[in-house]
Structure 1
Amino acid sequence: MTGREDLMLGFRLAVGGGRGSIVRLVLSAAGIGLAVAILLTGASAGTIKENRDQRTFDSYVQSEPLPGVAPLFYDATTTDFRGQAIALLHLRPTGPNSPIPPGVDRLPAPGEVFLSPKLDELVTSDTSGLLRPRLPGKPAGLIAAETTLNPNDLIAYVGTDTLQNGIKIYGFGAEPGYDDVLENGIMMLLLVGLVVLLTPVFIFIGTTSRLGGSTRDRRLAALRLAGSSIRQLRRITAAESLVGAAAGLVVGAALFLLFRGAVTNFQVLRFGLYPKDLTPPWPLVVLIVLVVPALAVLTAWFAQRHTIVEPLGVVRETAPPKRRLWWRLLPILAGIALVVPDFGMASEVGRTAPIAGSVLLMLGIPALLPWLLERVVSRVKGGSPSFQLAIRRLQSDSGTPSRVVAGVCVVLAGAIGLQSLIAGQAVHQGDYRDTMAGRMIVHAEGPTAEQAVAAARAVPGAADFQAMRSMYFDQSGALVSFGVADCATIEASTGATDCHDGDVFAKAPSFHKGQSVTLTDMAKRTQSWTVPATPRTLDLKPSGLAVYLGVHVLATPAAMAGVDLAAASVSVSLRDGTANPDFVELVRNSVAPFGWQASVTAYNQKRITDEVQMFGDMRSILLGGALFVLLLAGVSLLVLAQEQVRERRRALGALSATGVPVRVILRSLLWQNGIPLLLGIVIATATGIGIAAVGKRMFWSALYIDWAAVGVLAVATIAVVLLVTASTWPFVRSAAKAESLRTE
């Protein structure tokens, strides 16, 4: 036969070889398709970052004056509606050519608002009627889709003609003036997580090509009997593998397109994607299309490297490879060299080196585990008969099980490290603002400040008021916050007792009696004030209004004689005295008519729970992904176990014929699968803790090991081993019969 005829025969055998061939093709297509979908998603990482960077660039403002451009007054405030943050961008143009924000073709007129698509959906779906009064204007249009940073962002452009103290901007489109540490941290988690996912994927692609290996060997032996050469058998094997790989490519592309269309429904923390973000570059698509079939073919050939196919049967040759240690240590040493030095987060090297080092540490696991397993089992002696059988098998071939186990260990190491990082951040978020739980702060400034505060105080159920005016002064080049409040508020915010109107409180050594201080209010107006009395020591309570405002000096109203407080900002703290679940929404609605001049910050328990819940959701997603990939690795291990039973069919039959009970053989398989995994769990846990330590140094203040996640992943891994071993028991019982000793 010609080469073309060999390939066509391989195609026909793959799709027309009976029910077994169809089942094998379906399983291969499903497995490779899932792997291809993950690869296409991973290949889109560059496009995701590029598109997000572009949207970030488009949304930032230019504050440098531009010739011929009338500035736009711009002020950003935030309101919350039932735990969802809504950004209100107040805009006042000063001329016909004032800059226009992205997503709209004109500026909103006074009394108009443009809504992002998700905010418009939220307003439409709100049946309580509490959200609509929050918007300071009539909806006049939508912000264009895919111009907001995330698809679920809730943004409103608000037109106003009263804004005076906003930022003057001359255009949109500028580099951010700060480095988002949290976003850098999330990007690190995503990159490391991508490696965690892809490593077992490649292993899984390889193992799917071994499905039905025994049937393939019998067919190849029949073809040899019919006169086919070894070269022809290799072409036929390649064609069979290519059929499964091609079907897997089609299935993977379909799965990727389905996920791409629904990606806007997935959001972790405040990060979300548009469908166009999941667009892998065509060179990477071509690479995937070429690599996946090539990997399937090479794996099928590699599986037959020790197989001699003759007309009367199939014989397998096995020889333990001689493993060397030096090259296996290279990725681990390189990873340590990148993660141990502290390059700092200011440079690109400082941001990428720990990520690259963490990836190298994880890639060192598949390289080191076969050598380590070989050394461990070579020194083990004694034990029960089943244990000795397993050890002897591992001594003769430790490479095959360790390769599959290595994929599981990479998943474990990455998942443990990422889970610990996210758990540490969740703990940090849970502690933040705990002391302010249940309290709301109304902040107002400008000529309507008193009216805004009065409106908030008039909300039914409002109680436990603490009110304070704020100014600041310059002390040795540093701005110091200055507060004015009555004695009730001061005693509630500090440890002071016996407060009298006319007292002054200060963090020593701020100043002394008779000292002159220049105070500045929110209108940038300066006034001179003389300290009328010897300041008392200021001892702030963690739950008081003063600590929220960060004041260093507190004075009672009588101590401010001669100072006009009309332009000072006002902050009022209050609580819900009625247990109304919508109390905070009523407070926000009460100050909504004052627009940018008033805002509400809620430190209620629900908000804290929501913040922790966001990180909890991310942990759940990561844990679910890790368990899913463990399932893939379990399928790989199942294929391996079945192949081993097939290869050892005569040996198992001989053991049974010499009097070895079948239950001993079954237990030996459990040890044979479990010993590499137990060793891998130890290595993966140590590597995962190392990754968590690196991430802690980069982004978080304390190392937190999520031992609960470690336990869940370890138990899941052990469960996979038990299930895989149990699934092979019928094949073992069939092999452990006298018929297995017959030679065909």
Structure 2
Amino acid sequence: MTGREDLLLGFRLAVGGGRGSIVRLVLSAFGIGLAVAILLAGASAGTIKENRDERTFAASVKSEPIPGVAPLAYRAATTDFRGQAISLVHLRPTGPNSPIPPGVDRLPAPGEVFLSPKLDELVASDTSGLLAPRLPGKQVGVIAPGTMVNPNDLLAYVGTDTLRSGPMVYGFGAERGYDPMLEQGVLALLLIGLFVLLTPVFIFIGTLSRLGGAARDRRLAAVRLAGSSVRQLRRITAAESLVSAVAGLVVGAALFLLVRGAVPDLQVFRFGLYPEDLAPPWPLVVLIVLLVPALTVATTWFAQRHTIVEPLGVVRESAPPKRRLWWRLLPVVAGIALVLPDFGVASELGRWALIAGAVLLMLGIPALLPWLLDRVVSRIKGGSPSFQLAIRRLQSDSGTPSRVVAGLCVVLAGAIGLQSLMAGQAALGAYQDTTDGRTIVNAEGPVADKAVAAVRAVPGAADFQSMRSLFVTMDGALSSFAVADCLTIEASTGMSGCQDGDVFAEIPSFHKGQSLTLTDLDKKEQPWTVPVTPRPLGSKPAGLAQYQGVRVFATPSAVAGVDLTAASVMMSLRDGAANPDFVELVRNSVASLGWEATVASYNKNRISDEARMFGDARNILLGGALFVLLLAGVSLLVLAQEQVRERRRALGALSATGVPVRVILRSLVWQNGIPLLLGIVIATATGIGIAAVGKRLFWRSLYIDWAAVGVLAAAAIVMVLLVTASTLPSVRSAAKAESLRTE
């Protein structure tokens, strides 16, 4: 036969070999397709970062003066609506050529607002009527889609003519910046994470390409009997493998396009994508299209290296090959050699040495696991019948399950290590709220009286406290000075017996008749004489006082004659009516004051921006790890079904001799579970080791995220149980006497 005829024969054997061949083709095509979809998504990482950077920098402001450009007064504020953050950007032009932010064709006039598409949808869907009053103006347009950093961003451009403070903006579209922390920390972790998620994909592709090995050998023996040469057999084998690979490429492309269309609806905290972000560069697409078929063919040929196909049958090695240890230790030793020395993570060499070391340590898992599994199962004796059946099967062939579990354990090790690093940074950035569920309102001096009256009038408001803020000059330094009524002072200091006219001071040198200077936020100075002997503060300030670091309290009568017009006010209150929308009512009460009044509800733990960034990256990684675990589950399911198909006669013989089906099923659980449990132990140890070394990225202590370890391990165990349960119909069918028939 010619080479073309060999390839055609391989194609016919792949698709025309009966029901078994079709089922095998469908299973392998779906498994490879899922892997291809993940590869295409991973190849889009560069495009995702580039597009997000473009949108981020396009929205960045230029504060350096530009000759001939009238600056734009710009102030960003944030409000929340039922847990969703809404950005309100207040804008006031100072001339006809003031810059215009991206996404709109003109600046909003005073009393007008432009809304992002998602905020426009949220306003339209709000049946409570609580959100519309939060937006200080009439909606006159929608910000162009694609100009927000995330498709689900809730953003409003608000026109105002009262904005007096805030940065002056001369343009939008700042030059590309450089974030040292991102480069040294998060970017390095995400690079390791990308390797963690993509490397097992190649392992699974190679494993899936080995489906139907025994049946393929029997077919090739028949072809050899007809006079084909070994070279022709290789071409036939390659054609068979290429059919499943090409089908997998088609399925993977379809899955990728399906996911790409749903991308705008997927968001992890603040991280979201547009469909055009998931666009892998054409060189990488071509590489994937060439690499996947090449990998399937190479893996199939490699699997037949110990098989001699002869005209009268298939001869396999009677004993499993002895696995050598020395070369399996090389990636582990090289990884340790790279991560142990402290090259300094601030340097490029140090970061890449740490990344390369972590990658080599994880590569040691698929290299060591088959050897370790062989040693473990060879020393196990006794046990229940199902356990003995599983051990005997693993002793005769431990390569296939160990390969699937090895890929899964690479994901577990990397995810455990990176989850621990990121969880540690997020935990260090979190701080516990001490306001005991109070709602805090801040208002600028010019609207302070209006804000106090509006907040007091909120239905259900209880335990109201307020404090006006100034500064007092003592010994050449400024100290925080608060004007408040006795109720607020007693709640903030723990003092009792307060009367209007009293003064409380933490500063020992304070005394009656002392002349001091009070300064407001506008830096206006006013003289003030201490009217009474100050009472010492008996405890550390709490409540409102702790946020201002107040060292001096004065009641209103003690500062009679002092102009408080520019003194901002801080208020706190509680919900006395158990209204779930109480905070929304408070926000609406001061919404008309625009940027000059802000509301914050501290009824849960708050986290810093840095901690939130690590939390976002952590959730992205966890989602990717669980998705790759799903791929491992599909691979394991395909292999389990194929093993049942290949062992139909053996299972039928076991059933005919009186072995119950439930024993066979339990043996399959042990057969899949023993490699998995061993792999989880190795993966956990490797992940903790990576976390212990990787903490040098941030010069902080080790933090093990045991919750993530438990979730990932539990997900892997549940996956094995589900895969085994799914083989029940096949096992019941194989356990029938008909399976013993032969021709």
| Residue 469 to residue 666, structure 1, CA distance change in 2 (3 Å) | closer
**Aligned-partner Cα distance in 2 for 1:352–1:385:** 50
**Aligned-partner Cα distance in 2 for 1:465–1:171:** 43
Deviates more, 1:568-577 or 1:674-683: 674-683
| Residue 322 to residue 52, structure 1, CA distance change in 2 (3 Å) | same
Paired residue for 2:89? Answer: 89
**Aligned-partner Cα distance in 2 for 1:710–1:358:** 18
**Aligned-partner Cα distance in 2 for 1:229–1:104:** 71
Work out whether residues 361 and 686 of structure 2, in 8 Å CA contact, stay in contact via their aligned partners in 1. Answer: yes
**Which structure 2 residues correspond to residues 245-644 of structure 1 after superposition, within 5 A?**
245-317=245-317, 320-325=321-326, 328-331=329-332, 333-334=334-335, 337-338=338-339, 341=342, 343=344, 357-377=357-377, 380=379, 382-384=381-383, 398-417=398-417, 420=420, 432-472=431-471, 480-507=479-506, 518-529=517-528, 533-534=533-534, 536-537=536-537, 539-540=539-540, 542=542, 544-560=543-559, 563-604=562-603, 626-637=625-636
- Deviation digits for residues 365-391 of structure 1 (CA, Å, limit 9, x no counterpart): 22232343345456x364448667766
**Aligned-partner Cα distance in 1 for 2:161–2:210:** 72
**Aligned-partner Cα distance in 1 for 2:449–2:281:** 57
- 3-state SS of the aligned residue for 1:364? helix
- Deviation digits for residues 663-687 of structure 1 (CA, Å, limit 9, x no counterpart): 9887766555443322211111223
Q: CA deviation at 1:484?
A: 2.0
Q: CA deviation at 1:448?
A: 2.2
Matched, 1:207 2:207: yes
**Aligned-partner Cα distance in 2 for 1:438–1:640:** 54
Q: CA deviation at 1:171?
A: 1.5
Work out whether residues 211 and 639 of structure 2, in 8 Å CA contact, stay in contact via their aligned partners in 1. Answer: no
| Residue 681 to residue 455, structure 1, CA distance change in 2 (3 Å) | same
**Aligned-partner Cα distance in 2 for 1:599–1:424:** 31
Q: CA deviation at 1:701?
A: 7.1
Q: CA deviation at 1:570?
A: 0.9
- 3-state SS of the aligned residue for 1:68? coil
| Residue 74 to residue 409, structure 1, CA distance change in 2 (3 Å) | same
Q: CA deviation at 1:706?
A: 4.6
Paired residue for 2:66? Answer: 66
Structure 1: any 5+ residue segments left out of the alignment?
none
What is the aligned length?
737
Q: CA deviation at 1:58?
A: 1.6
- Deviation digits for residues 98-138 of structure 1 (CA, Å, limit 9, x no counterpart): 11111122211122111111111111112222211211111
| Residue 143 to residue 385, structure 1, CA distance change in 2 (3 Å) | closer
Matched, 1:7 2:13: no
Percent of pairs with identical residues: 75
Structure 2: any 5+ residue segments left out of the alignment?
none
What's the C-alpha RMSD, in Å, of the aligned pairs? 4.2
Aligned partner letter, 2:562:
V
**Aligned-partner Cα distance in 2 for 1:166–1:700:** 35
- Deviation digits for residues 555-588 of structure 1 (CA, Å, limit 9, x no counterpart): 3334435532211111111112112222222221
Q: CA deviation at 1:740?
A: 8.0
- Deviation digits for residues 141-191 of structure 1 (CA, Å, limit 9, x no counterpart): 111111111111111111111211121121122368895979997766654
Q: CA deviation at 1:278?
A: 0.8
Q: CA deviation at 1:550?
A: 3.6
Work out whether residues 44 and 280 of structure 1, in 8 Å CA contact, stay in contact via their aligned partners in 2. Answer: yes
- Deviation digits for residues 486-545 of structure 1 (CA, Å, limit 9, x no counterpart): 221011122223334444445567967777655432223233445564562363455x11
Q: CA deviation at 1:233?
A: 1.0
**Aligned-partner Cα distance in 2 for 1:389–1:669:** 9
- 3-state SS of the aligned residue for 1:158? strand
- Deviation digits for residues 377-406 of structure 1 (CA, Å, limit 9, x no counterpart): 56x364448667766765666544432221
TM-score by length of 1: 0.86
**Which structure 2 residues correspond to residues 702-741 of structure 1 after superposition, within 5 A?**
705-721=704-720, 727=727
- Deviation digits for residues 583-627 of structure 1 (CA, Å, limit 9, x no counterpart): 22222112111111111112235999xxx9999999888667645
| Residue 162 to residue 722, structure 1, CA distance change in 2 (3 Å) | closer
Deviates more, 1:177-186 or 1:237-246: 177-186
**Aligned-partner Cα distance in 2 for 1:86–1:638:** 45
**Aligned-partner Cα distance in 1 for 2:601–2:661:** 67
Paired residue for 2:217? Answer: 217
- 3-state SS of the aligned residue for 1:447? helix
Matched, 1:129 2:105: no
- 3-state SS of the aligned residue for 2:151? coil
Aligned partner letter, 1:24:
R
Work out whether residues 207 and 639 of structure 1, in 8 Å CA contact, stay in contact via their aligned partners in 2. Answer: no
Paired residue for 1:683? Answer: 682
Q: CA deviation at 1:289?
A: 0.7
- 3-state SS of the aligned residue for 2:446? coil
Work out whether residues 503 and 556 of structure 1, in 8 Å CA contact, stay in contact via their aligned partners in 2. Answer: yes
Aligned partner letter, 2:326:
L
Work out whether residues 472 and 480 of structure 2, in 8 Å CA contact, stay in contact via their aligned partners in 1. Answer: yes
Paired residue for 2:228? Answer: 228
Matched, 1:36 2:36: yes
- 3-state SS of the aligned residue for 2:8? helix
Work out whether residues 661 and 735 of structure 2, in 8 Å CA contact, stay in contact via their aligned partners in 1. Answer: no
Deviates more, 1:525-534 or 1:213-222: 525-534
- 3-state SS of the aligned residue for 1:114? strand
TM-score by length of 2: 0.86
Q: CA deviation at 1:477?
A: 9.4
| Residue 699 to residue 603, structure 1, CA distance change in 2 (3 Å) | farther
Q: CA deviation at 1:89?
A: 0.7
- Deviation digits for residues 678-735 of structure 1 (CA, Å, limit 9, x no counterpart): 2211111223334455676657977654545534543443454456567389669969
| Residue 639 to residue 25, structure 1, CA distance change in 2 (3 Å) | closer
**Aligned-partner Cα distance in 1 for 2:541–2:297:** 70
